[in-house]
Amino acid sequence: MAIIAPSILSADFANLARDIRDMEKNGADWVHVDVMDGNFVPNISIGIPVVKALRPVTGLPLDVHLMIDRPIRYVEEFVKAGADWLTVHLEADLPQNILACLEKIRSLGCKAALSLKPQTPAEAAIPYLTKCDMILVMTVEPGFGGQKFMADMMPKVRALRQMLEECNPACLIEVDGGVDGETCRVCKESGAQVLVAGSAYFRAADRAAFVKTVQA
């Protein structure tokens, strides 16, 4: 069964606690939290105080996706705020700093994940594969919800799954962007085990049924 992580980016920001409790009732597995700094991506969303405020709202794991430059500056604060999974972007700093960042996340007792923008090839992740608990393959350009799913990222998911089987089989693959009741199928077939869904989850007439479709 796949793991579904609805993204709060499409939630009602004035009612985040309500929407997250509702995710839990609807059978969601994780809560995906998109953090944007206006530099790494051309949008600003939420940060550490919001993660901290949401922590007591739910027992679900908080899957925090950092779309910020030089994330090493902030990982400790995000872990302290309550992140269970912390994802940094491969493109957000020099390789040695990204490696140090993943190590730091793990040393703080948090699961470490590395994200690849659409232009970044699977091979670029090779130096990091054994340092991660999850690889996030972006299926849209990071920055905004509601974009069209990039099916041409599926070969990248397959390639990463194959590489991981060799060196780190327990490492999960997550996809994020444009995942809906249709596109979730090819993601799972390609080897993705964690599926983020923002707009498709929130626009679903029956959110519990949508969750089941993505998990199936």
Q: Using CB under 6 A, list all residues that contact ligand DX5.
A: 7, 9-10, 32, 34, 65, 140, 142-143, 145-147, 176-179, 196-200
- Give me the 38-77 binding string for Zn ion, x by CB under 5 A, dash otherwise: ---------------------------x------------
| 176 catalytic per annotation | yes
| 29 catalytic per annotation | no
Structure tokens at 146: 């509601």
By a kind-dependent CB cut-off of 5 to 8 A, residue 27 interacts, out of Zn ion, ligand DX5, none, with none
Check binding of 176 to Zn ion (CB under 5 A). Answer: yes
Check binding of 34 to Zn ion (CB under 5 A). Answer: yes
C-alpha angle 185/132/16, rounded to 5°? 65
Which residue in the shown chain puts its C-beta closest to ligand DX5?
Answer: 198
CB of residue 18 to ligand DX5, shortest distance in Å: 18
Annotated catalytic residue, options 29, 34, 133, 180 = 34
CB-count burial class (<10 Å; 0-12, 13-18, 19+) for 198 = buried
Return the closest-CA partner of residue 70 out of 87, 92, 47. Answer: 92
E-strand stretches of the chain: 3-6, 31-36, 62-67, 85-89, 111-116, 134-138, 172-176, 194-197
Residue written as token pair 């995000």: 78
Residue numbers of the site for Zn ion (CB under 5 A)? Answer: 34, 65, 176
Return the active site residues: 34, 176
